[in-house]
Amino acid sequence: MINSAENEKTVGITGASGALGKELTKLFRKKGYKVIGFTHRINNYETSLESPNEWIKWKCGKESSLKKQLEKIDILILNHGIYDLSRENSNYENSIEINALSKFKFLNLFEDVALSDDSLIKKEIWINTSEAEILPALNPSYEISKSLIGKLVSFKKNLLDKKTKKKLIIKKIILGPFKSELNPIGIMSPKFVSEKIYDLANSKNYLIIISPNPLTYLLFPLKEFFNFLYCKIIYKYKS
């Protein structure tokens, strides 16, 4: 449960101007959090009771310039991404850069911020990877980028050293199709998804799965278990 002390936390949300980002913002504002919205497309930076308390405009590839802003954040939700159906090589490059490498840069940067923080309260980072990490999405470039960020997050989580584990909590968000500009025929509503993310993230579970597909609830825990075993083997041979 969320108590009054936790309600004073600051949440950062990338992709805050998208359908899910807006619903997450409204929910966290309603719960008493301060919200910092990261976006690359907003122009007027207007604020209201349902918008972020503060807007930060950023550009993919320039994540390192955000370190000072990230130092103010207790929970960082990586929610930005693209879904481009074109078959051009540039689409593959953009999808990999935005959906995978950008999020991994944020993760590494926030890890550095957490390690340099003197607070006894752990920082948290929640990364939206999507069930397209291992299930078809009828979009090869999207599937490749989601598979990449999914693996990067899994390995990062399982290979954290003891010092980092005391400072940083990593959670992976696995979402099925929800209605948005990227997916106008999505089954789930962004509001429903945001509420489920909030409820499930309050547990100690690493995986946050929200999907109408029962296979997702079977396949992802199995995948993460085998990743865990693989990383244990890596540790064994390193020592």
Residue 203, judged by CB atoms within 10 A of its CB (0-12, 13-18, 19+), counts as exposed
Residue-by-residue pLDDT tens, the chain, 239 positions = 344 445 589 999 999 999 999 999 999 999 999 999 998 876 656 777 789 999 999 999 999 999 999 999 999 999 999 888 777 777 899 999 999 999 999 999 999 999 999 888 899 999 999 999 999 988 999 999 999 999 999 999 999 999 999 999 999 999 998 888 777 677 899 999 999 999 999 888 999 999 999 999 999 999 999 999 999 898 777 65
- Closest of 160, 104, 133, 124 to residue 223, by C-alpha: 133
The catalytic residue positions are: 142
pLDDT on residue 47: 73
Other CB atoms within 10 Å distance of the CB of residue 169: 17
pLDDT on residue 180: 81
**110 contacts 77 by C-beta, under 8 angstroms:** no
**7 contacts 69 by C-beta, under 8 angstroms:** no
Domains located in the chain, CATH noted: 6-238 (3.40.50.720)
pLDDT on residue 44: 59
pLDDT on residue 95: 94
pLDDT on residue 5: 44
pLDDT on residue 181: 74
**131 contacts 211 by C-beta, under 8 angstroms:** yes
Q: What is the DSSP string of the chain?
A: ---TTGGG-EEEEETTTSHHHHHHHHHHHHTT-EEEEEESS-SS----TTS-SEEEE--TT-GGGGHHHHTT-SEEEE---------SHHHHHHHIIIIIIHHHHHHHHHHHHHHH---SSPEEEEEE--GGGTS--S-HHHHHHHHHHHHHHHHHHHT--HHHHTTEEEEEEEE--B-SSS-TT-SB-HHHHHHHHHHHHTSS-SEEEE-S-HHHHHHHHHHHHHHHHHHHHHHHHH-
